[in-house]
C-alpha cells in the first residue's frame, strides 16, 4: 500500500464540441503536471467533449470522435508519465453515460459512470444520459480512489458505498456552474460527504463560459475532518500538483489556499468570463454597443473592456431630441475612462422618417409608447447595421429588473447576440459599478482604475424617450421592485408570503402581472450570463399563454 501520492488538479477551460482542441488542452495540462512530478491528473467532468454537450451526445459521429480521442489520450500514458482521470460521454452496452475514465499504462484502465443525473434548473442530463450503477473504488498506485462524478457528491449514497468498499480518498470531477453564493453550497455538500465517510475529498471544477453558463473553477480539497487543505483561485486556469501523504492511516495534503472572492467581485468576474468566452469561442472580432450615458450601458462597456480589451469594444452614442447634454457628457466620460472608441450617430433623421412614413396611418392619434419604441428600434437597427457591415457582435445592455417587467423594447434595446446583464438586478448593477470603480479585478484587460464617472452611478435612471422621463415614472423604486422580483422568481413565493415580508399587496400583484406578461419578450431575448439561482431561460420555463395570471 502506498503512503504518498502526487495528484494534479487540472482546472481548465474546455470548449464544447472542440474535441481536438480539448485533447490538446488535456495534453498541455498533463505535460505541466509531469514537470511537477504528478502521478495522476484529475480533470473536470466531460472534459473531452466539453460540458454540457447537450444533444451533441445524440450524434453517433460525435461519440465516435470522443471515444477515439480517449483512446489516443490513453495511448499517451504508455510513456510512464502521469495517469489521467478524464470525463467523457461513454457508450456501454448501447447506452450513453456520463463517465469518468482512468487512463493509465496506455489503456482505459477503469471507468466509473455517473449515477445521479441532474434534471432541474439548467440541467437535463436525464434526457441524454443513462444512469450508471453505484460505483466501487478504483485501484491506483496501491490506493483506492472513490470517484464521484459531480452530482453524485450531492447525495449520500454514492460516497457511503465507496467508503464501505474501502475507498481512501474521494475524487470528484465537476462541471458545476457558477451562481451567487454557490461556493459555500458546494463546500457544505462536500463537508457532508466527508462527515459521513471520514474520508478526504478532492473537488476539481471546470472553468470558463459556455453559452449562458459560466464555470468559476474554485477547486478545493478537504481533509477527513472537513477542513480546507487546498483551494485554487476562482476565475483562473490552473494546473496545480499537490502532495498527498498517509499518516496514521489517514490521507492528508498540502497546497495553496487561495482567498474566496467577495460577492461583488464574483458577480463581476462571472460577467467578464461569460462574455470573454462567448465572444472568443464563437469567433467574434469584438463587440459594439449603444452607450447612452446611463449606468447599464456603462457597466456593459466596462465588462466588455475588461473581458476583451478596449480595442475590441466599439461604443456608439445615438442621441435623439430627448437626449440630455448630461448623458452626452457621461457617455463621453465612460468611453474616455475605458479607452474605447466612441462614435455618435444621431437618430433624429430616422425618427423623422418614421413619423412621415406613418403619419397617414397614425392620423387622429396621440403620441404614446409607440413613438418611444420606434426610437429604441431605430437604435437597434443602427447597431445591427454596424455589426453586419464590420463584424462585431451587438452587446445588449438590459438588466434583469427590466427583463422581468418588460421594461425593454423587442427589436430595440433587446437587440444583440449576448446580454451580459441579463441576470443582474438593477440594485446589483449599482453595487457592482461601485465595486469596479474602486477595484481592478484579476485578469482584467481594461483600465487600472475607475471605469465610469461617479455621476453615472448617482443620477436617476432614465430611458430618455420623452421629456423629463425617469424609470420610476413606470416602475416601482428599484429596491422595492428587486425585492419583490426575487421573491417571485428565485423563491416562487405567493402574494400572501411576499406581503407578509412587508411589501404592499397592490404593488406585489402589479409586479407579478408585469413579470408574466413579459414572458413572450424574454423568449426572444439574447442569451446572457447566469448569475442568480434562477435565471431566465433553462432555469425558469413558464408558458407564454398563461391564464393563471388573470387570477392574480
- Does 120 show up as a binding residue in the annotation? yes
**Has 297 been labeled as part of a binding site?**
yes
The reply, when asked if residue 521 is annotated as ligand binding, is: yes
Q: Is 224 annotated as a binding residue?
A: no
6 annotated as belonging to a binding site for a ligand: no
**Residue 197 half-sphere exposure toward CB, CA atoms < 13 A:** 32
Cβ contacts of 106-114, under 8 Å, gap ≥ 24: 106/74, 106/75, 106/77, 106/78, 107/74, 107/77, 108/70, 108/71, 108/74, 109/83, 109/138, 110/138, 110/139, 112/138, 112/147, 112/149, 113/149, 114/149, 114/150, 114/151, 114/152
List the grid coordinates of 73: 489520450
Calpha distance 465→355 (Å, rounded): 15
281 annotated as a binding-site residue: no
Question: Binding site annotation covers 292?
Answer: yes
Tell me if 389 is assigned to a ligand binding site. no
254 annotated as ligand-binding: no
- Is the alpha carbon torsion for 250, 251, 253, 258 positive or negative? negative
Contacts of 321 (CB under 8 A, 6+ apart): 348, 351
402 is in an annotated binding site: yes
Cβ contact 221:200 at 8 Å: yes
Question: Cα–Cα distance between 91 and 130 in angstroms, integer?
Answer: 10
User: Is residue 290 marked as binding?
Assistant: yes
216 to 1, 123, 274: CA distances (angstroms): 36, 17, 10
- DSSP letters, 304-373, are HHHHH-GGGEEEEE---TT--HHHHHHHHHHHHHHT-EEEE---HHHHHHHHHHHHHHHTT----HHHHH
373 is in an annotated binding site: yes
Length of the chain (residues): 552
Distance CA 225, CA 201 (A): 10
Q: For residue 293, say whether it is annotated as part of any ligand binding site.
A: yes
Q: Is 329 annotated as a binding residue?
A: no
| Residues designated catalytic | 45, 114, 150
User: Residues within the annotated binding site?
Assistant: 120, 176, 182, 290-297, 373, 397, 402, 521
User: Residues within the annotated binding site for L-glutamine?
Assistant: 120, 176, 182
User: Residues within the annotated binding site for deamido-NAD(+)?
Assistant: 373, 402, 521
Amino acid at each position: 500500500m502506498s503512503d504518498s501520492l502526487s495528484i494534479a488538479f487540472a482546472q481548465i477551460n474546455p470548449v464544447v464540441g472542440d474535441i481536438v482542441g480539448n485533447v490538446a488542452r488535456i495534453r498541455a495540462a498533463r505535460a505541466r503536471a509531469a514537470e511537477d512530478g504528478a502521478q495522476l491528473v484529475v480533470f473536470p467532468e466531460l472534459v473531452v467533449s466539453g460540458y454540457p454537450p447537450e444533444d451533441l451526445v445524440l450524434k453517433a459521429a460525435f461519440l465516435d470522435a470522443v471515444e477515439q480521442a480517449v483512446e489516443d489520450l490513453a495511448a499517451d500514458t504508455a510513456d510512464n508519465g502521469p495517469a489521467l482521470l478524464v470525463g467523457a460521454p461513454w457508450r456501454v452496452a448501447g447506452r450513453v453515460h456520463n463517465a469518468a475514465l482512468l487512463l493509465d499504462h496506455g489503456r482505459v484502465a477503469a471507468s466509473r459512470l455517473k449515477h445521479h443525473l441532474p434534471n432541474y434548473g439548467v440541467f437535463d442530463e436525464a434526457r441524454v444520459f443513462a444512469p450508471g450503477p453505484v460505483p466501487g473504488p478504483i485501484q491506483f498506485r496501491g490506493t483506492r480512489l472513490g470517484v464521484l462524478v459531480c452530482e453524485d457528491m450531492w447525495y449520500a449514497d454514492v460516497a457511503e458505498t465507496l467508503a464501505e468498499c474501502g475507498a481512501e480518498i474521494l475524487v470528484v470531477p465537476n462541471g458545476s456552474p457558477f451562481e451567487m453564493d454557490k461556493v459555500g453550497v458546494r463546500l457544505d455538500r462536500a463537508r457532508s460527504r466527508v462527515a459521513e465517510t471520514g474520508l478526504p475529498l478532492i473537488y476539481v471544477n471546470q472553468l470558463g463560459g459556455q453559452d449562458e453558463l459560466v464555470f468559476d473553477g474554485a477547486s478545493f480539497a478537504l481533509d477527513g475532518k472537513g477542513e480546507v487543505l487546498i483551494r485554487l483561485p476562482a476565475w483562473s486556469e490552473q494546473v496545480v500538483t499537490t502532495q498527498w501523504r498517509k499518516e496514521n492511516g489517514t490521507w492528508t495534503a498540502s497546497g495553496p489556499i487561495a482567498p474566496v472572492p467577495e460577492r461583488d467581485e464574483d458577480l463581476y468576474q462571472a460577467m467578464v468570463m461569460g462574455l470573454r468566452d462567448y465572444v472568443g469561442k464563437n469567433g467574434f472580432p469584438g463587440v459594439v454597443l449603444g452607450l447612452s450615458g446611463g449606468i447599464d450601458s456603462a457597466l456593459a462597456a466596462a465588462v466588455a473592456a475588461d473581458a476583451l480589451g478596449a480595442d475590441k469594444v466599439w461604443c456608439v452614442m445615438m442621441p435623439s431630441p430627448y437626449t440630455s447634454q448630461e448623458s452626452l457628457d457621461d457617455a463621453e466620460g465612460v468611453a474616455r475612462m475605458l479607452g474605447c472608441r466612441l462614435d455618435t450617430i444621431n437618430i433624429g433623421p430616422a425618427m423623422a422618417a418614421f413619423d412621415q412614413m406613418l403619419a397617414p396611418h397614425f392620423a387622429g392619434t396621440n403620441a404614446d409608447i409607440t413613438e418611444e419604441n420606434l426610437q429604441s428600434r431605430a437604435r437597434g437597427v443602427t447597431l445591427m447595421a454596424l455589426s453586419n457591415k464590420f463584424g462585431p457582435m451587438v452587446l445588449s445592455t438590459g438588466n434583469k429588473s427590466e427583463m422581468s417587467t418588460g421594461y425593454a423594447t423587442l427589436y430595440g434595446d433587446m437587440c444583440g447576440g449576448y446580454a451580459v446583464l441579463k441576470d443582474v438586478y438593477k440594485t446589483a448593477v449599482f453595487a457592482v459599478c461601485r465595486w469596479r470603480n474602486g477595484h481592478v479585478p484579476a485578469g482584467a484587460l481594461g483600465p487600472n482604475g475607475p471605469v465610469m464617472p461617479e455621476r453615472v452611478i448617482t443620477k436617476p435612471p432614465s430611458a430618455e424617450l420623452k421629456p423629463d422621463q425617469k424609470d420610476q415614472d413606470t416602475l416601482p423604486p428599484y429596491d422595492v421592485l428587486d425585492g419583490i422580483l426575487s421573491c417571485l422568481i428565485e423563491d416562487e413565493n405567493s402574494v400572501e408570503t411576499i406581503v407578509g415580508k412587508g411589501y404592499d399587496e397592490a404593488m406585489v400583484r402589479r409586479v407579478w402581472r408585469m413579470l408574466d406578461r413579459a414572458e413572450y419578450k424574454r423568449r426572444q431575448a439574447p442569451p446572457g450570463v447566469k448569475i442568480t439561482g434562477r435565471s431566465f431561460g433553462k432555469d425558469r420555463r413558464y408558458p407564454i399563454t398563461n391564464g393563471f395570471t388573470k387570477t392574480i
